[in-house]
């Protein structure tokens, strides 16, 4: 399914509300805290977030793992509402500190995703992930096989049909409170809220959003879950062949090198996890 709206919608008010015929739980509006912004913050709210859990510890953790209120229904009406649902994780054991709280966001730091060419962004990020020639050894080169230090180019788009159950299944398996972001396409959500997850690697999350747009187009991959430094995507058109998986693994390395260098250990190993995978998880150290 292609998730796209004609334009970004309007966030619902705090308290109880209905969006596109879907009744929401009680929620509040999130605005970036100027004391924690790296730039002059925007005054307007950037996110609607479901009310916090009633307490801390085990009660909060159980709340965050409870059935998500009509996530699939909200995703289905997104083309009409322009409000994309996110499942927003919290600090472990403390639901009063969500990953998308006032002190975690800086939307003014994000450039417009449409201003960037995804292929160039990925190639540039790949180049930045490579050490200088005098620091490149055989062990490092082995992690890049079957490629070398030169970016191999974008992976081919996966063929349809879309697995429309991927979004619902990923949402069911993802922890977090419901959030809504006003965007015209799911990929833009990270830029719209000024998410700071990859800040140790790059501050402008508009670059990431541009790449997420490309993954939406080529693989039907949409953002479902978001944490302090984690991102979960549902993949409606998974990769089905080794060559495409390896090229896509190179793209993932470019945008989130920790997935490979601190995870799978090499592109070939990581590519195997992408074959037929209807879910992608990213983590930035």
Q: Domain map of the chain by residue range? A: 18-115+155-283
Q: Is the pLDDT of residue 167 over 70?
A: yes
Q: Is the pLDDT of residue 245 over 90?
A: yes
Helix, strand, coil shares, percent, the chain, to 5: 35, 20, 45
Q: Is the pLDDT of residue 76 over 50?
A: yes
Residue that is written with structure tokens 């069911």 in the block: 172
- Predicted TM-score (pTM) of the model is 0.91
- Asked if residue 190 has a cis previous peptide bond (ω within 30° of 0), the answer is no
Residues 6+ apart with CB under 8 A from 121: 207, 210, 211
For residue 94, with 0-12 CB atoms within 10 Å meaning exposed, 13-18 middle and 19 or more buried, which class applies? Answer: middle
Q: Are 110 and 203 in contact (CB under 8 A)?
A: no
Residue range 197-209: mean pLDDT, rounded: 93
Residue range 101-112: mean pLDDT, rounded: 81
**Higher-confidence position of 25 and 55:** 25
Residues 6+ apart with CB under 8 A from 96: 52, 56, 60, 90
pLDDT at 279: 98
- The average confidence (pLDDT) of the chain is 89
For residue 251, with 0-12 CB atoms within 10 Å meaning exposed, 13-18 middle and 19 or more buried, which class applies? Answer: buried
Query: Vertex 10, ends 72 and 86: CA angle to 5°?
Result: 35
44: pLDDT confidence band, cut at 50, 70 and 90? confident
218: pLDDT confidence band, cut at 50, 70 and 90? very high
Residue range 80-86: mean pLDDT, rounded: 98
Q: Is the pLDDT of residue 59 over 60?
A: no
135: pLDDT confidence band, cut at 50, 70 and 90? confident
Q: Is the pLDDT of residue 53 over 80?
A: no
Lowest mean pLDDT among 107-111, 114-118, 177-181: 107-111
What SS3 state is found at 177?
A: strand
Q: Is the pLDDT of residue 42 over 60?
A: no
For residue 66, with 0-12 CB atoms within 10 Å meaning exposed, 13-18 middle and 19 or more buried, which class applies? Answer: exposed
58: pLDDT confidence band, cut at 50, 70 and 90? very low
54: pLDDT confidence band, cut at 50, 70 and 90? very low
Residue range 228-252: mean pLDDT, rounded: 97
Percent of the chain with pLDDT over 70: 86
Cα–Cα dist 215/245, whole Å:
13
Lowest mean pLDDT among 21-35, 52-66, 133-147, 229-243: 52-66
Lowest mean pLDDT among 17-26, 58-67, 75-84, 154-163: 58-67
pLDDT at 37: 58
Q: Is the pLDDT of residue 120 over 70?
A: yes
């Amino acid at each position: 399914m292609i998730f796209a709206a004609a334009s970004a919608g309007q966030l619902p008010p705090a308290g109880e509300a209905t969006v596109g015929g879907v009744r929401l739980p009680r929620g509040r509006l999130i605005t970036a805290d100027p004391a924690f912004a790296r730039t002059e913050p925007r005054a307007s709210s950037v996110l609607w977030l479901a009310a916090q859990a009633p307490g801390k510890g085990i009660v909060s953790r159980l709340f965050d793992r409870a059935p998500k209120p009509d996530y699939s229904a909200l995703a289905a009406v997104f083309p009409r509402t322009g409000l994309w649902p996110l499942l927003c994780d919290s600090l472990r054991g403390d639901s009063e500190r969500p990953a998308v709280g006032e002190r975690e966001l800086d939307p003014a730091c994000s450039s417009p995703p449409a201003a960037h060419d995804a292929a160039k962004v990925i190639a540039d990020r790949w180049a930045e992930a490579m050490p200088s020639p005098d620091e490149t050894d055989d062990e490092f080169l082995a992690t890049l096989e079957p490629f070398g230090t030169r970016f191999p180019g974008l992976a081919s788009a996966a063929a349809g049909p879309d697995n429309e159950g991927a979004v619902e299944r990923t949402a069911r398996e993802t922890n977090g409170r419901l959030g809504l972001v006003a965007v015209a396409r799911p990929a833009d959500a990270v830029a719209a809220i000024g998410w700071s997850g990859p800040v140790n690697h790059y501050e402008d999350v508009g670059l990431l959003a541009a790449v997420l747009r490309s993954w939406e187009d080529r693989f039907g991959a949409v953002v479902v879950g978001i944490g302090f430094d984690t991102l979960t995507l549902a993949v409606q058109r998974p990769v089905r062949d080794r060559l495409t998986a390896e090229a896509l693994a190179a793209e993932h390395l470019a945008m989130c090198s920790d997935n490979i260098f601190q995870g799978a250990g090499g592109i070939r190993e990581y590519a195997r996890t992408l074959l037929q995978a209807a879910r992608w998880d990213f983590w930035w150290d």
